[in-house]
Structure 1
Amino acid sequence: MTTKKNRETAGKSPFLRLLKPAELRRWPTAAVLSAFAVSVIVVCGGTGYTSRANADLREFEVGKVAERDVTAEQMIAYVDEDATRLRLEAQERLVPAVFKYSMGITQEITDSYRRFAALSQRLFDEGVSAEAYKLAVQSAYPGAFRPDTLDALFRDPARGRLLDFGYDVLESILESGVFAIPQIGLEQYNPDTVELLHTTGPRVERERVSYDKVITRGTADSRIVRIISSGSYPSSFAAIAPELLKPFITENVFFSSEDTEQRLAETRAQVEPVVKEIKRGEQVIRKGFIITKDDMVRLRALDQSLAQADPGRIIGRIIVLTFVFALFCFLMSSRIIGRKLTAQEVYFLAILGASYVIGAVFINGVSFNREYFMPSVLFPTALMVMLPAILINTRAAVAAATVLPLAAFVSGSFDGAAFTFALISGFSAAYTLQGAERRMDLVKAGFIIAGTNCIGMFAILLIQHASVQDTAFMLLWAALNGIISGMIVLGFLPLLENALNTATTFRLIELSDLNSPILKRLLTMAPGTYSHSVMVANLAESACQDIGANALLARVGAYYHDIGKMEQADYFIENQTAYNKHEDIAPRLSATVIRSHVKIGVEKARNMGLPKEVVDIIGQHHGNSVISWFYNEALKRESQVNVEDFTYPGSPPRSRESAVVMLADVVEAAVRTLKKPSTSRLEKFIQELIMSKFEQGQLSESELTFRDLETIKKAFVRVLAGHYHSRIDYPKVLKENSSHYETSAPQGPRG
């Protein structure tokens, strides 16, 4: 007895079974996680895998001739310490010395002047003599004023106004600030300006003051003269003002070392280091040239970059790769690509993705000994997109064309040019293979991809201002990338088709050849079944074309759906002539023979290595319907009959193609019994057959819609009307049995 496990593995090559142990078949998720882990390890650990020996400092010394080239394998950014130090010194030199304005001292000075003015005004009002006035002032302010200044003030008729003018000028001087400039210690600060801090409560105002506008006690006289000359003051006031105000000109702005140091610290914090770049492929050391100090600085930077494991970069790469693989899983889900992936396809895609990442990291690490070279031109993006385009479907190819450039972006140290080229190459491959039906189309696709690669690469090189020689060299590699991808796919496709057991367009076209040995054998052993299968294929193909399903798959499935009848062809009515073998055996045995052709057909298909999609059509083309003719005969002979003995062993169709083949099968067989097959009668008859299958629940898992069923009916009518157009109309006889004596018993409600 054949077990389920044996049926699943029957017909598959030992090589295929070796690649897919039972443990992996049960756990396709493990393959995806393994691919992710491998990619993370390779990308994070292999960025600088070319070895630090490339930048061994012991071989090089300033002033000596370099014996070999040293090329940067990746873009490196390093801090130029000397340039950074010079920048810092310059920025520090531009920091102004900070002075603080003293409101307290300013208030004391103005209060002192007010007291002097009040004293003078009181003496003026008392009518004292000039001598008495001078003596009183000298008593209050000993040695502060010159006698001639006080005498001039006393004798001026407008002496009260002169005191007011003096207050205004003094207030202006104090508001600008009288600076106490240290004799030493300011040489390290800005030579042109100082910074003045005004503190008013919680508010601090900063003001830049140039040195030529700074007022000191030594320059106050000239500032007083300038203020008076710019205003409408009397000449008598101008004559005495400098000496009158001199006792009150005192420093109210002082140097603040604490604030100045804080200003320096802020400036140091804002100074950005001088970062220089060594581009990927740039020669750090040139063979035959004398090594300079700058060369050694660049060489040390290269050495340190290779020696350091940057945790931030590693974590960042892991995070980005996690998102890339999450996007990969989402884009490969059934809702995106239109169907559920098999375990084999999951393993294939996981290996594909991990191989691409490993290859990208390896290519990025290879030294090409050219001043300009883009390693991304060697990435097999087109190849890796063409394979799922053929082996799965176009949607899977578009998903790969989206994810692989992101993987190239991460593995290429986030190189935008690599991402762009991979994106162009990938989508070109996905688009070019649409509708490919011959293997030579793969070669043509390779040349089309080569042309697209060249256009994309040329645009990138224009942006990067590459030389003519470099442009020509890179375009050559871009073209070879596409051509070689097409050749590789052409060579490896048969092996992959067999390994994945997938229904590619090319394989289906080969299987649709009516000269294949199995179909020739079917023609010889069961000519009626062969004719029936060909007609079913025509019906199914036409209907699938109209509803947008895979017409080629439906045709091939229809060709092979009844191969299980070959060994017992005489038990099926389409192969019988005058004698019916079922007349001599019990209905239960007849049903067993009829039912067995599904199971035998599935086993034959698996032994032949037919694609799973075709095997599913063979196993589902009767669903789990009841062979009602023999079931009814058994009921006439026995009181207790188990309906399971008269039920097909398959399951209802789970794809649109399988459901269409089921409908085409029952329609083609039943229409043979129809007399006078006019178009209107065909339409009504086919409608009844389709709705019968629908009511029995045979179409509930097929994803067909009512609109699809209407379209299928019209396609069947169109094909059959053309086939039966020359027949003579006969009275209508609607029979319910088919070539397999099959109708379906009503079923209970489906869950």
Structure 2
Amino acid sequence: MPMMQKTNKKIKTVPVFRQLLTKNRFKKKKLIFISASFLLFYGILLFSGQSNTFTYRINPAQFSPGEPAERDLVVEKDFTYIDQRATALKREAIEMLSYPVFSVRDEITRRVLDNFDRFTEIITEGLSSSYSSEKIFLQIQAALPGYFMKEELIPVLSNKRILDIFSLTRRTLKDLQVGGILGIGTGGGAEKSDYFEVWRWVNGKSEKENVFRNDIMTLQKLPDYTRTYFSGENIGSYADRETAVSLILVFAAENAFYDEEQTVRNRDRALRAMEPVVRKILKGEHVVKKGFVITEDDFEKIKALGNHAASVNLQVLIGNALFMLLLFM
């Protein structure tokens, strides 16, 4: 069997690393060439007159409110902007028109009327049963401790028309409590507001009413209000009216309190629905004239023009860049 002969012929090879290096050098040169071409054409595009907006520059720092303008500033094309100053004033007005909410607590109203009814029951039963004033006083103290001093019951027990007074007093007391006796001074800016939004439950339905400060009822207003009110009623003598007033003052209670959570919700809802103040400036309009004092409104326009120009310039730069990329792809 013939023997295979060995050959010493050498195969010429190129190291893999050298191949990669050669290819990478070629790619690097190609990348540099493409990048340089891209920048060159991009620069030509920007400054060849096809990008006039790029030269539209406004520097608000060159203008100051309260100072005379050093040059005319004329709008080169129509544009709209949000008037931040007017929008802030609008926001402030809406916040002020969102009145503090006061919710009437029905459970307090029921408690007040229940206590008054219990009081009249004791008096009526005591008088019909000819109880002594001492016994009637003790019964009242047991049912309503701390409501009356002994001497305060004398005008009630000695009044011949007390049952009629009870009827009128209860009706008035109910109207006052259902309407709401507000507890002012509970924070949240309620002390400074001229109007209040009062929430009540009337016949099982929620009712809202905006009430002027002078028309709200407070414990401090009760004495004058009830005396004036009862003077117009056919209630009898001055002593009868004073008895009715004293009973109102004993049993009436604050039952409408500041509802911070609802107040904030109302205010936030109103602000979310608010539209910003949008202004339009027309081409050729003078924003300021040289030598004229720059007002706050003028300066708002200048800032808007500056922001608009910067935005347009950025859009042009990006648009041109995308256009060049499409050409080189």
Question: What is the TM-score when the length of structure 1 is the normalising length?
Answer: 0.32
Aligned-residue RMSD, C-alpha: 2.9
SS at 2:235 equivalent: coil
Distance in 2 (CA, whole Å) between partners of 1:58 and 1:169 is: 66
Aligned length in residues: 260
In structure 2, relative to structure 1, the CA distance for the partners of 1:187 and 1:240 (3 Å cut) is closer
- Which residue of structure 2 aligns with residue 243 of structure 1? 246
Q: Hey, what does 1:60 align to over in structure 2?
A: 62
Q: Quote the offset at 1:183 in angstroms.
A: 5.0
Q: Measured at CA, do residues 57 and 123 of structure 1 come closer, stay the same or move farther in structure 2, by a change above 3 Å? A: same
- Amino acid across the alignment from 2:76: E
How far, CA to CA, are the matches of 2:254 and 2:275 in structure 1?
38
1:85 aligned onto 2:100: no
What is the identity, as a one-letter code, of the residue corresponding to 2:120? A
- Secondary structure, counterpart of 1:179 in structure 2: coil
| Residue identity opposite 2:157 in structure 1 | F
The structure 1 residue matched to 2:198, chosen from 182, 196, 199, is 196
Give the 3-state SS of the residue equivalent to 1:149 in structure 2. Answer: helix
Corresponding letter in the other structure for 2:263: T
Superposition map of 1:287-436 within 5 A:
294-308=297-311
Query: Conserved in 1, the CA contact under 8 Å of 2:188 and 2:260?
Result: no
- In structure 2, relative to structure 1, the CA distance for the partners of 1:292 and 1:256 (3 Å cut) is closer
Code of the aligned partner of 2:159: D
Aligned equivalent of 1:117: 120
1:64 deviation in Å?
Answer: 7.0
Shift of 1:59: 8.1
Equivalent residue runs for 1:261-660 within 5 Å? 261-286=264-289, 294-308=297-311
Which letter maps to 2:285?
A: E
CA distance in 2, matches of 1:212, 1:285: 47
What is the CA-CA distance between 1:289 and the residue it aligns to?
5.7
Measure, in 1, the Cα distance between the counterparts of 2:144 and 2:291: 86
Work out whether residues 184 and 191 of structure 2, in 8 Å CA contact, stay in contact via their aligned partners in 1: no
Provide the residue aligned with 2:134 in structure 1: 131
Do the aligned partners of 1:101 and 1:197 also contact (CA within 8 Å) in 2?
yes
The 5 Å alignment of 1:27-38 reads none
In 2, Cα distance between the equivalents of 1:243 and 1:78?
Answer: 63
Q: Which has the higher strand share?
A: 2
Q: Which residue of 2 aligns with 1:739?
A: none
Q: Distance in 2 between matches of 1:161 and 1:290?
A: 75
Provide Cα deviations, 1:142-163, integer angstroms capped at 9, x if missing partner. Answer: 3312433312221222222222
State the match for 2:232 in structure 1.
Answer: 230
The within-5 A match list for 1:36-51 is: 50-51=52-53
TM-aligned CA deviation for residue 82 of structure 1: 1.8
Give the whole-Å Cα distance in 1 for the aligned partners of 2:176 and 2:60.
Answer: 68
Distance 1:222 1:204 in 2: 30
Task: Pick one of 152, 157, 167 that aligns with 2:170.
Answer: 167
Alpha-carbon distance, 1:97 to partner:
1.2
1:151 aligns with 2:168: no
Q: CA deviation at 1:186?
A: 2.0
Distance in structure 1 (CA, Å) of the matches to 2:184 and 2:127: 39
Fraction of identical pairs, as percent: 25
**8 Å contact 1:169–1:227 — kept in the other structure?**
no
Q: Which deviations, in whole Å up to 9, do the C-alpha atoms of 1:495-520 show, x marking residues without a partner?
A: xxxxxxxxxxxxxxxxxxxxxxxxxx
The 3-state SS of whatever aligns with 1:180 is coil
- Does the CA-based 8 Å contact 1:145-1:244 persist in structure 2? no
Aligned to 2:214: 212
Q: Unpaired runs of 5+ in structure 2? A: 1-49, 313-329
Kept in 2: contact 1:54–1:70 (CA 8 A) = no
Matched position secondary structure for 2:148 = coil
Contact 2:196 2:211 in 1 (8 A): yes
TM-fit CA distance, 1:253? 0.7
> Using the alignment, how far apart are the partners of 1:59 and 1:166 within structure 2?
71
Q: For 2:242 and 2:104, locate their aligned partners in 1 and report how far apart those are by CA, in whole Å.
A: 30
What is aligned with 2:180?
177
Structure 1: which 5+ runs fail to align? 1-47, 310-751
The corresponding residue for 2:26 is none
Quote how far apart the aligned CAs of 1:285 are: 4.6
Equivalent-residue separation in structure 1 for 2:147 and 2:298 (angstroms): 70
CA distance in 2, matches of 1:91, 1:193: 14
Q: CA deviation at 1:275?
A: 2.6
Q: Deviations over 1:125-176 (max 9, x none)?
A: 2111233323332333233124333122212222222222221121122122
- Give 1:71 shift: 2.8
**Offset of residue 101 of structure 1:** 1.0
Secondary structure of 2:101's counterpart equals strand
Q: CA 1:272 to 1:159, structure 2 compared with 1: closer, same or farther past 3 Å?
A: same
Match of 1:624 in 2: none
Contact 1:55 1:299 in 2 (8 A): no
Counterpart contact for 2:104–2:178, Cα < 8 Å: no
CA distance in 1, matches of 2:218, 2:181: 5
How far off its partner does 1:51 sit?
0.9
1:267 Cα deviation from its structure 2 partner: 2.8
Q: Is the 8 A contact 1:60 1:291 kept in 2?
A: no
When Rg is computed on C-alpha atoms for both structures, the one with the higher figure is 1
Are 2:60 and 2:302, in contact at CA under 8 Å, matched by a contact in 1? no
Per the TM alignment, residue 258 of structure 1 is displaced from its structure 2 partner at its CA by: 0.8
Distance 1:73 1:181, change over 3 A: same
Question: Residue 555 of structure 1 corresponds to which residue in structure 2?
Answer: none
Instruction: Indicate the structure with greater helix content.
Output: 1
State the AA in 2 paired with 1:303. Answer: G
1:105 maps to a residue whose letter is: I
Distance 1:295 1:93 in 2: 27
Matched position secondary structure for 2:110: helix
Once residues 250 and 152 of structure 1 are traced to their aligned partners in structure 2, the CA distance between those partners, rounded to angstroms, is 22
CA gap 1:239/1:203 in 2 versus in 1, 3 angstroms = closer
Structure 1 CA distance for aligned equivalents of residues 206 and 101 of structure 2: 13
Inter-CA distance 124–288: structure 2 relative to 1 (3 Å threshold): closer
Question: 1:273/1:188 Cα in 2 relative to 1: closer, same or farther (>3 Å)?
Answer: farther
TM-aligned CA distance change 1:53 to 1:199, over 3 Å: farther
Deviation at 1:294, TM superposition (A): 4.4
Query: Structure 1 pair 153/280, CA: closer, same or farther in 2 (3 Å)?
Result: same
What is the rounded CA distance, in whole Å, between the counterparts of 2:117 and 2:258 in structure 1? 28
Deviation at 1:219, TM superposition (A): 1.9
Letter matched to residue 114 of structure 1:
D
Aligned to 1:74: 77
Post-superposition shift, 1:196? 0.3
Aligned equivalents of 2:216, 2:121: Cα separation in 1: 31
TM-score (norm 2): 0.69
User: Which one-letter code corresponds to 1:208 in the other structure?
Assistant: N
Aligned AA (2:210):
R
Q: Give distance in 1, aligned partners of 2:233 and 2:68.
A: 74
- Work out the CA distance in 1 between the residues paired with 2:135 and 2:60: 94
1:221-246 deviation per Cα after TM superposition (whole angstroms, max 9, x unaligned): 22221221222212243121222232
Secondary structure at the aligned position of 2:56 is classed as: helix
- Asked if the contact 2:100/2:258 (under 8 Å) is kept, the reply is yes
